[in-house]
Amino acid sequence: MSEKYSTPTAYLWGVMTTVLGFFTLEQWVAVVGIVCTIATFLINVYYRKKEYKLKERQYENTEKILMATGGSALFLASSMITHFEGLRLKPYFDGGGVLSVCYGHTGNDIKRNRTYTKEDCDKWLDDDLKAVKRYVDSLIKVNINTLTQAALYSFAYNVGVGNFAKSTLLKKLNPNDQKGACDEMKRWVYVDGRKWKGLMTRREIESVICYGDLTHLP
């Protein structure tokens, strides 16, 4: 019985010894390194493909938002904000600990124990966004199209006009580095030092619209 299994085992061992003998230890280290590199590359390709498909779905949603608007920068920005912020009729503390309500409205005029109506929220959004537009427009010294304006309004509404005024984004935009300015949006994804997935998605879409068309991939 032992001879029946010893022959194949010995044969296999002989083959392995012969194969191993083809290369020195240093050569085997190089071969293993190459194999690991190829494996890592294939894994990266797999995950990049998944990421690309996810972004394609995001762009499809962006195009739907654009098609639903009438072309006005304010109207488009309003559509973006309501999409990203969502509607909450009861006051809450946002990720940064700021008391908020409706479509991300903040301020001393919020009463914590009150439930607001959609009409209240629409009025606040209209007033807040018009104020953002006036401030942002006063800071921009170059010509930009409606899409870029809308993206900047949405961005400034979210980060605050004070932060927008001090941002590297604005410093790049005014010398006419529009792409560099729009790319800066994707850096604003942190809350208390941590990346937020919701902000990452929002900035990806805002930056695409900021470029002024939908042909750029972030």
Rounded to 5 degrees, φ, ψ at 39 are -60, -45
Average pLDDT, rounded, for the chain: 80
One domain for residues 125 and 58:
no
More confident residue, 24 or 97: 97
Q: Residue 50's pLDDT is what?
A: 55
Active-site entry in 51, 85, 128, 177: 85
Whether residue 122 sits in one domain with residue 60: no
Say if residues 125 and 81 touch (Cβ distance below 8 Å).
yes
CA distance 59 to 66: 10
Helix (H, G, I), strand (E, B) or coil at 105: strand
Same-domain pairing of 59 and 122:
no
pLDDT of 33 strictly over 70: no
Model confidence at 218: pLDDT above 60 = no
Rounded distance between C-alpha atoms, residue 112 and residue 125, angstroms: 18
Per-residue pLDDT tens over the stretch 155-207: 999 999 999 999 999 999 999 999 999 999 999 999 888 999 899 999 999 99
Structural tokens at position 94: 């946002």
Are 117 and 61 in contact by the 8 Å Cβ rule? The answer is: no
pLDDT, tens only, 98-141: 999 999 999 999 999 999 999 999 999 999 999 999 999 999 99
Whether 94 is a known active-site residue: answer yes
Looking at residue 69, its pLDDT comes to 46
At residue 157, the pLDDT reads 97
Over pLDDT 70: what percentage of the chain?
65
Note whether 62 and 140 are same-domain residues.
no
CA neighbor of 82 nearest in space, from 45, 129, 39, 38: 129
Catalytic residue among 26, 94, 109, 126: 94
Active site residue 184: no
pLDDT at 95: 83
pTM of the model: 0.67
Give the percent of the chain with pLDDT over 90.
57
Q: In this structure, are 51 and 156 located in the same domain?
A: no
Domain hosting residue 179, numbered range: 70-85+117-211
Q: Is the pLDDT of residue 26 over 70?
A: no
CATH number at residue 182: 1.10.530.40
Distance CA 140, CA 132 (A): 12
* 33 & 76 share domain: no
Q: Which of 150, 152, 191 is nearest to 170 (CA)?
A: 152
Residues 40 and 74 in one domain: no
Number of folded domains in the chain?
2
Question: In sequence order, what are the beta bridge partners of 88?
Answer: 102
Residues 60 and 35 in one domain: yes
Please tell me the predicted confidence (pLDDT) of residue 72.
Answer: 85
Q: Which helix (H) or strand (E) holds 93?
A: strand 88-93
The reply to whether 153 and 58 lie within a common domain is no
Alpha helices (H) in 71-216, listed in sequence order: 73-85, 118-139, 146-159, 161-166, 168-173, 178-184, 197-210
